[in-house]
Amino acid sequence: MVNEFKLRQDMVEVGKRMYDKSFVASNDGNISVRISEKEILITPTGVSKGYMRTSDMLKVDMTGRVLSGSMKPTSEMKMHLAVYEKRRDVAAIVHAHPPFATAFAVAGIICDKIALPEVIFSLGLISLAEYGTPTTDELPGSIKRHLDNSDAILLSNHGALTVGKDLFDAYYKMETLEHFSRITLYARLLGGEKALAKEQIKDLFDIRENVYGKPMPKITGDEGLCGGADVINILGEGTEQSNNDDASLKDTIRELVLSELKKLEK
């Protein structure tokens, strides 16, 4: 059973972390968490994420109708609802303006090289969504086609969005995205990041799937996708069929990995 008060406390905590890390300024950013198939909790508009109270959160249904709460929901509620509609596996969403990630979003630049294993394990892939005017239907529309690819999306001229299986999963992905963006910028000041080889990238996605139990991204196109055409070649057309053909092999690998992990736990 969902503990709604605990989720409200977690939203307050995540808001404080976002504010303390300068992922947001003033009243920027918004957070939401799914409490049932038909309801979510979402942050209010006009309130600093660093100074929220549990009573500030609003309960709304999937049409955006306010069910409880005395304040107005965030003006970006349409974006949150669009994510929950598209991705039934998503249970929480964090939207912020972390400086390094947002710098790439404002510059309209997406990484063309995959260089860090941890990013694949945590985020899978990063996308850059085209600009959509905040508070309008443009913004939800701009991110929808990227949701199958990515759990972390840069919003052109705006900020970043991360989604997760729970509230802290979504927040930690925002931390990873900002950390990766900072490293990428520094690497470029030093002459540019060195890309992992295609086979190394494929191996990392195999580990992500078989060890961490995270599904392969559903590649729907390379426009605005970190790694671009290289990712299409590695994970794109034919991946689903290949996964079906190799299902028994992957099951065997998974069993061996789980067996080894159990031995280590003993």
Q: Which pair of structure tokens corresponds to residue 165?
A: 């299986």
Looking at this protein, which amino acid is placed at residue 79? M
Q: Which pair of structure tokens corresponds to residue 60?
A: 């709304």
Q: Cα(93)–Cα(11) distance, rounded to whole angstroms?
A: 11
Average the pLDDT over each of 87-96, 101-110, 154-163, 222-231 and give the range with the smallest value.
222-231
Identify which has the larger pLDDT, 203 or 251. Answer: 203
Longest Cα–Cα distance in the chain: 54
Q: What single DSSP character describes residue 41?
A: E
Q: Cα(86)–Cα(66) distance, rounded to whole angstroms?
A: 21
23: number of Cβ within 10 Å: 28
pLDDT at position 249 over 70: no
Nearest to 11 by CA among 32, 28, 40, 35: 32
pTM: 0.85
Confidence of residue 135 (pLDDT cuts 50, 70, 90): confident
Confidence of residue 84 (pLDDT cuts 50, 70, 90): very high
Q: Which pair of structure tokens corresponds to residue 13?
A: 């905590």
Sign of CA dihedral 164, 165, 171, 173: negative
Mean pLDDT of 237-265: 54
- At residue 247, the pLDDT reads 53
Mean pLDDT of 10-25: 98
Report the relative pairing of strands 152-155 and 126-129 from DSSP bridges.
parallel
Give the domain ranges of the chain.
4-189, 198-265
**Rounded alpha-carbon distances, angstroms, from residue 188 to 44, 181, 184:** 38, 11, 6
- CATH of 4-189 among 3.40.50.300, 3.40.50.720, 3.40.225.10, 3.90.550.10: 3.40.225.10
Q: Cα(76)–Cα(55) distance, rounded to whole angstroms?
A: 19
Say whether 23 sits in a helix, a strand or coil. coil
1: number of Cβ within 10 Å: 3
Report the relative pairing of strands 152-155 and 58-61 from DSSP bridges.
unpaired
Confidence of residue 207 (pLDDT cuts 50, 70, 90): very high
Q: Is 211 exposed, middle or buried (0-12, 13-18, 19+ CB in 10 A)?
A: middle
Hunting for tokens 């929808």 — which residue is that? 144
Interval 213-236: pLDDT, tens? 988 887 766 668 887 777 777 776
Nearest to 235 by CA among 129, 149, 126, 145: 149
pLDDT at position 42 over 50: yes
- At residue 221, the pLDDT reads 65
Mean pLDDT of 89-117: 94
| Residue numbers annotated as active site | 76
Interval 250-259: pLDDT, tens? 565 556 556 6
